[in-house]
């Protein structure tokens, strides 16, 4: 239990409407739906949940916890209880009220955002000025910012694809005692801040967007009604083996062909569309083996160009590269429903939350966002 005195201090910082110690409210932050519904897999119930609205309020909350020997766990967007407390003496800081896009600098191709801003929200605003944001692998409803400074995985931790610039350029964070810390580029934080400092805003890298400023969509992912812009095309690439698919990916990157690519099995996307059918087919020795061979080494490449000539040049280059690797390219120009599905999946990464079914977010289309 959190003491009345400490709880009163939190109320004075954020207001009575934005702090709670009610058991039902606390349990809503610790239920983890992914592994199952067994109460034994729930994470630790926090002492209280606090929803600050500014960096200054985060500082005050962190200072109160520090002075009273309590820990903090920060949460903003994300799925489930992945940022829930791992011990008993923890106050949950919910950053969802900090959902402001501070600025978008079209010239520098960067955006400064708070942690409660989801990737879809930022993308909708960036597209208005001809830019786009890299959707996190967890989906468009997740933030492009982490909620706390990462704990290093070791000396040989993964640094991302070779030659790829980091998407997070700078962060402002609050240390456990309430001190404000700013980090830029590859600047290393103090060891005491790792996993403890709460990020309150960050600078995110943006990229060029040759498509329209808005892509209206209706319906859910697999029934999406959307007109694919003339500046966008999707191509399905099939390869004889994994080695030729990997070789093609390297060549596309080297020659800067394509706007976006999915090198996961194309069959995985079709499986999301018809899971029961795929499970039945997979049990059939001949047909299942054929499906796995054909779709197991397949990629989807999205092309985008500001002019028809640029798009044609991209498609010709893609065909040449795939042919050199022994593969085949199939365009989706004659399959508008498939193109619509790919547009929803690629631009909004809507297949990611859809794959989670009950614990994901089924719809994140542009026209539903209120920014």
Q: Is residue 157 part of a domain?
A: yes
- For residue range 270-326, what is the model confidence (pLDDT) as tens digits? 555 555 555 555 565 545 454 555 555 778 888 988 888 989 999 999 999 999 989
Q: Are residues 237 and 353 in the same domain?
A: yes
Q: Is residue 216 part of a domain?
A: no
pLDDT at residue 164 above 80?
A: no
Final residue of a structural domain among 44, 67, 94: 94
pLDDT at residue 366 above 50?
A: no
- For residue range 236-277, what is the model confidence (pLDDT) as tens digits? 888 888 888 888 888 888 888 888 877 655 555 555 555 555
* Cα 96 from Cα 255, distance rounded (Å): 41
Final residue of a structural domain among 208, 238, 256: 208
Lowest mean pLDDT among 22-26, 147-151, 225-229: 147-151
Q: Is residue 368 part of a domain?
A: no
The model carries a pTM of 0.78
Q: Are residues 293 and 339 in the same domain?
A: yes
Per DSSP, 17 falls in state: G
Q: Are residues 82 and 107 in the same domain?
A: no
Q: Is residue 256 part of a domain?
A: yes
pLDDT at residue 352 above 70?
A: no
The predicted structure's pLDDT at residue 29: 84
> Mean pLDDT, the chain, as a whole number?
78
Question: Which comes out higher in pLDDT, residue 98 or 197?
Answer: 98
**Helix boundaries (H) for the chain:** 4-14, 23-28, 55-67, 119-127, 242-254, 266-273, 275-282, 285-296, 308-324, 336-347, 351-355
| Domain membership of residue 83 as a residue range | 4-94
Indicate the pairing of strand 71-75 with strand 90-94.
parallel
Here the tokens at position 55 are: 């960096």
Residue 185 belongs to a domain with what CATH number? Answer: 3.30.465.10
């Amino acid at each position: 239990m959190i003491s009345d005195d400490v709880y009163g201090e939190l109320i004075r910082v954020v207001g009575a409407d934005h702090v709670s110690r009610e058991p039902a409210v606390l349990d809503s932050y610790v239920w983890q739906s992914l592994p199952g519904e067994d109460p034994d897999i729930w994470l630790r119930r926090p002492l209280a949940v606090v929803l600050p609205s500014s960096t200054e309020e985060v500082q005050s909350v962190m200072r109160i916890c520090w002075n009273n020997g309590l820990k903090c766990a920060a949460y903003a967007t994300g799925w489930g209880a992945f940022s829930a407390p791992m011990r008993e003496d923890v106050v949950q800081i919910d950053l969802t009220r900090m959902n402001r896009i501070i600025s978008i600098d079209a010239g520098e191709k960067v955006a400064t955002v708070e942690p409660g801003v989801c990737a879809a929200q930022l993308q909708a605003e960036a597209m208005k000025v001809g830019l786009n944001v890299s959707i996190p692998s967890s989906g468009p409803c997740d933030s492009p910012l982490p909620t706390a400074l990462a704990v290093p995985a070791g000396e040989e931790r993964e640094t991302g694809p070779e030659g790829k610039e980091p998407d997070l350029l700078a962060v402002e964070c609050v240390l456990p005692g309430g001190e404000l810390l700013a980090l830029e580029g590859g600047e290393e934080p103090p060891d005491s801040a790792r996993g403890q400092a709460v990020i309150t805003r960050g600078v995110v890298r943006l990229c060029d967007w040759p498509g329209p400023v808005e892509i209206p969509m209706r319906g859910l992912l697999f029934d999406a009604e959307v007109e694919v812009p003339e500046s966008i095309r999707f191509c399905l690439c099939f390869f004889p083996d994994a080695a030729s698919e990997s070789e093609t990916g390297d060549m596309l990157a080297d020659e800067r062909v394509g706007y976006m690519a999915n090198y996961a099995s194309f069959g995985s996307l079709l499986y999301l569309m018809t899971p029961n059918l795929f499970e039945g087919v997979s049990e059939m020795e001949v047909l299942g083996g054929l499906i796995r061979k054909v779709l197991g080494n397949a990629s989807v490449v999205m092309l985008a160009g500001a002019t028809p000539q640029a798009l044609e040049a991209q498609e010709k280059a893609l065909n040449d590269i795939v042919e050199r690797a022994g593969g085949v390219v199939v365009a989706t120009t004659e399959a508008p429903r498939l193109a619509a599905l790919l547009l929803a999946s690629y631009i909004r990464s809507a297949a990611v939350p859809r794959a989670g079914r009950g614990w994901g977010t089924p719809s994140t289309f542009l026209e539903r966002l209120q920014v």
